[in-house]
C-alpha cells in the first residue's frame, strides 16, 4: 500500500469509549508527520477529498456509516475496534500502533470488499436509488412476530415465494452478520458472490442461495398485512407497501479496505464469534 501523507480520523461523538482513543491516535499520527484530519461520521464528509487513509475508531455501526459516507471514493479505510463488537475492524484496542505503523511504512495490502446497490420501486412508480450496503439488504415485516410474503426473482425469472419474517440479500462480508444468524453460509470476505437467505421461513424446504455477483435479485412484497420494511445495513429503514419491489445488484465500486494481516479471517471468526467453542466449558 502507498504510504499516506494524510489520515482522516472518524470517531462517533456519541460513543464515549472511542473519544480518548481517538485523541491518542491523532497525537500518535501527528508525531509521525502525518496530516491529521478529523470529522464526524455523516452523509457528506468534505475532508475525504484530502485523505490518503481513513481510520474509523469505534464499533461496527460506526464502520458501516463511514463506508456509506465514502461512497465511490477509492481511499482505503481501516477500523480500530473500540465498540461493543467491532467485527469489521482489523486493529484491536491493544497494539493498534503496530498495524498503523506498518501502513505508514508502505506495508499491508488493500482489499476490495463487494458492496450492494439497492433500488426501490413503489407501486405505480419507477425504480429509484436508495443507497449502498456493505453487509446486507433486509426486507422484513414492520412489526415483530408478523409474517410477510416476498416473491424472489433472479434476472427477471420468478424463482419462488417465501412466507416468513422476511428475506436477506447479503455480501461476503455480511455473511457473518444477520445472514449467518438466519442460517446462511459463511463466505470469505474477499469472495465475489451474493447471498440470499430466508429469515425464519414458514417452511422446511427453503434454503439459502449463493449466486454469482452479476445476478439481479428482486424482492417483491406480495403481502404484508401488518406492514413491511426495507433496512440497509441496519442504518436506514424505509416503509414498503404491498406491490413494492426491491432490486439488489453488485455495486459498481467496491470498498477499499486496508489490511495488515493483523488476524486471519478464520481467527477473527474463532475469537469474536466463538466458532467451534464448546457450549459448556469443561471442568
Cα distances from 148 to residues 159, 204, 213, 260, in angstroms, run 17, 17, 26, 43
Cell of 176: 457473518
**Is 60 known to be catalytic?**
yes
Helices (H), 79-186: 96-104, 178-181
d(CA 273, CA 268): 8
- Which among 12, 15, 60, 233 is annotated as catalytic? 60
The distance from CA 196 to its chain's CA centroid, rounded to whole angstroms, is: 15
Q: How far, in Å, are 9, 41, 122, 242 from residue 238 at the CA level?
A: 30, 21, 11, 13
What is the rounded CA–CA span in Å between residue 50 and residue 8?
A: 8
Grid coordinates representing 243 are: 406491490
C-alpha distances in Å from residue 158, one per residue of 199, 218, 240: 19, 9, 20
CB of 39 closer than 8 Å to CB of 62: no
What distance in Å separates the CA atoms of residue 88 and residue 91, rounded to the nearest whole number?
9
CB neighbours of 23 closer than 8 A, spacing ≥ 6? none
Q: Of 151, 185, 148, 143, which is closest to residue 166 (Cα–Cα)?
A: 148
Catalytic site positions: 60
Amino acid at each position: 500500500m502507498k504510504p499516506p501523507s494524510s489520515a482522516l480520523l472518524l470517531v462517533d461523538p456519541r460513543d464515549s469509549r472511542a473519544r480518548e482513543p481517538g485523541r491518542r491516535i491523532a497525537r500518535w499520527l501527528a508525531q509521525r508527520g502525518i496530516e491529521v484530519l478529523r470529522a464526524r461520521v455523516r452523509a457528506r464528509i468534505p475532508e475525504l477529498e484530502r485523505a490518503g487513509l481513513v481510520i474509523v475508531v469505534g464499533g461496527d455501526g460506526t464502520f458501516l456509516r463511514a463506508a456509506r459516507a465514502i461512497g465511490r471514493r477509492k481511499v482505503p479505510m481501516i477500523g480500530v475496534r473500540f465498540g461493543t463488537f467491532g467485527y469489521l475492524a482489523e486493529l484491536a484496542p491493544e497494539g493498534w500502533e503496530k498495524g498503523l505503523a506498518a501502513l505508514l511504512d508502505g506495508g499491508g495490502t488493500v482489499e476490495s470488499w463487494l458492496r450492494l446497490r439497492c433500488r426501490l420501486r413503489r407501486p405505480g412508480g419507477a425504480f429509484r436509488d436508495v443507497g449502498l450496503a456493505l453487509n446486507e439488504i433486509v426486507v422484513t415485516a414492520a412489526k415483530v412476530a408478523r409474517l410477510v410474503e416476498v416473491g424472489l426473482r433472479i434476472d427477471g425469472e420468478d424463482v419462488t415465494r417465501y412466507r416468513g419474517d422476511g428475506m436477506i440479500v447479503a455480501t461476503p462480508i455480511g455473511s457473518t452478520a444477520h445472514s449467518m444468524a438466519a442460517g446462511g453460509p459463511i463466505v470469505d470476505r474477499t469472495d465475489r458472490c451474493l447471498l440470499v437467505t430466508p429469515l425464519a421461513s414458514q417452511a422446511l424446504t427453503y434454503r439459502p442461495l449463493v449466486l454469482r455477483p452479476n445476478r439481479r435479485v428482486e424482492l417483491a412484497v406480495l403481502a404484508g398485512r401488518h406492514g413491511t420494511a426495507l433496512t440497509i445495513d441496519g442504518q436506514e429503514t424505509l416503509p414498503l407497501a404491498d406491490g413494492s419491489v426491491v432490486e439488489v445488484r453488485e455495486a459498481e465500486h467496491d470498498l477499499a479496505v486496508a489490511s495488515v494481516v493483523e488476524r486471519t479471517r478464520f481467527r477473527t471468526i474463532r475469537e469474536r464469534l466463538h466458532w467451534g467453542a464448546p457450549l459448556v466449558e469443561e471442568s
